A = this chain, B = another copy of it.
Amino acid sequence: MDAASEYRCPVYSSDTVDAAKRAELLVRPVKSSADILALVSPILDSVRNGGDEGLRSCVVKFDRCLAAEDTAFPLTLKAPFPAELAKIDPKVKQAIDVAYSNIKAFHSAQMERESEPIRVETMPGVVCQRFARPIGSVGLYVPGGTAVLPSTALMLGVPAQVAGCKNITLATPPRPDGSISPEIIYIAGLVGAQTVVRAGGAHAIAAMAYGTETVPKADKLYGPGNQFVTAAKMSVAMDSGARVAIDVPAGPSEVLVIADKTADPALVASDLLGQQEHGLDSQSVLITIDCDDAYVEAVNAAVAEQAQALPRAEILRKSLSQSFILQTKTVDEAFAFSNDYAPEHLLLYIADAAKSIELVENAGSVFVGPWSPVACGDYASGTNHTLPTVGYAKQYSGVSTSSFLKHFTSQELSPAGLKNLGPYVEILADVEQLGAHKASVSLRLDKIAREGL
């Protein structure tokens, strides 16, 4: 076996894949979260009961931030953030500014639509409306530590700002010396965050869910994270004492590429590798439509060639066995598999790609045509990169401006409206044996009759 063959995606053909094998290909590895829930539970308790001091000891212990041992070390930074903490390379600043502008433009279009109440007069004199309001206090989790992930700060902070959330808190793990990467501080300022919490992991989630002396209590928590962060988010969302919601269930990242003969094998390979470099539990899937074995071999050859030249070659060598290529005959067959798989990222590298969006039922975000690699959506095209994974695109949407809003309805009846609707309400209240419900209508109808309204 030469070195190149270590970098290879397993290949299947729909001719030989039976129903059982198809079902197996659709399944992602599911990790049981029960053990991790048990591990995070004492961490959550220590912050819930201990407040800032509980949080501080977790920051020392789990974030390995020795600076926090000094009780004079502030666990939070409050806006306005000092300019010297946000000093970044001008080229990086420009790239962040472009990404910010695009994300803001796309998420603002959602807000424009949401700002307008829906109003329907369902019967004469019965007016129903629906209104959006920003969620008051939101907590954004930005993973970090050794790597710097400014893109997550943008993807969570911009829709919060666009939605009009009044109290934006951003938590991210500090470095050992207690500092936060300047890119994150710069973005926290851009999006109008009030507080940066220098903490990562389950304890950061607990601090925002329950609030501490210096960390504002959040109404909803957002953002990806490791399995401890995910377990902590699930745990507080289930705790009716916390009264906190979460964004989407988190899981390993994935891409499904649908390609036909028009797709350049080298570019397809680059898309598969872009996904697999995230780690060993990531999955990239290629569905070919009416492509021969030589095409598939060309993709695998390009995978091997490109992978060995990449900085994360070792991760790629191990993780490519998690990926696979499935050869299909028709567009319908390819989309049927994709819709059953419900990928986080769906890349349509086929003729008539734009038109085939109508065939997509389940996906997080779709990348249309040859010039739309996933990395563009990850960073800067304008769409959000916080997306449902492991098949949850069947029932969840990615993070959007709506994720930072909640809606309420209203109804206003005129006397004529109540005369039109009330008698039916009385009948239905009778069926459900709710006498006081009925009386609240009857007493009003009596009054309307009495006063000749």
Contacts and interface: CB of A to CB of B under 8 A. Distances in A.
A105 interface: yes
Interface string A205-226: 0000000000000011000000
A130 B381 CA distance: 13
Contacts of A411: 365-368, 372, 376-377, 381-383
Given A99-B424, A99-B428, A440 B373 contact: yes
* Interface bin, chain A: 35 or more
A148 B432 CA distance: 6
A274 B362 CA distance: 42
Nearest to A442: B270
Main secondary structure of the interface of A (DSSP, over half): mixed
Given A372-B413, A413-B381, A444-B373, A277 B95 contact: no
A331 interface: no
A368 B410 contact: yes
A296 interface: no
Interface stretch (A17-25, A170-178, A287-295, A414-422): A414-422
Interface of A: 30-31, 33, 91-92, 94-96, 98-99, 101-102, 105-106, 109-110, 113, 118-120, 122-123, 126, 128-131, 133, 135-136, 147-151, 183, 219-220, 234, 238, 240-241, 243-245, 249, 251, 264, 266-267, 270-271, 273-274, 276-277, 306, 310-312, 316, 353-354, 357, 360-384, 388, 390-398, 400, 402, 405-415, 417-418, 421-425, 427-429, 431-441, 443-444, 447-448
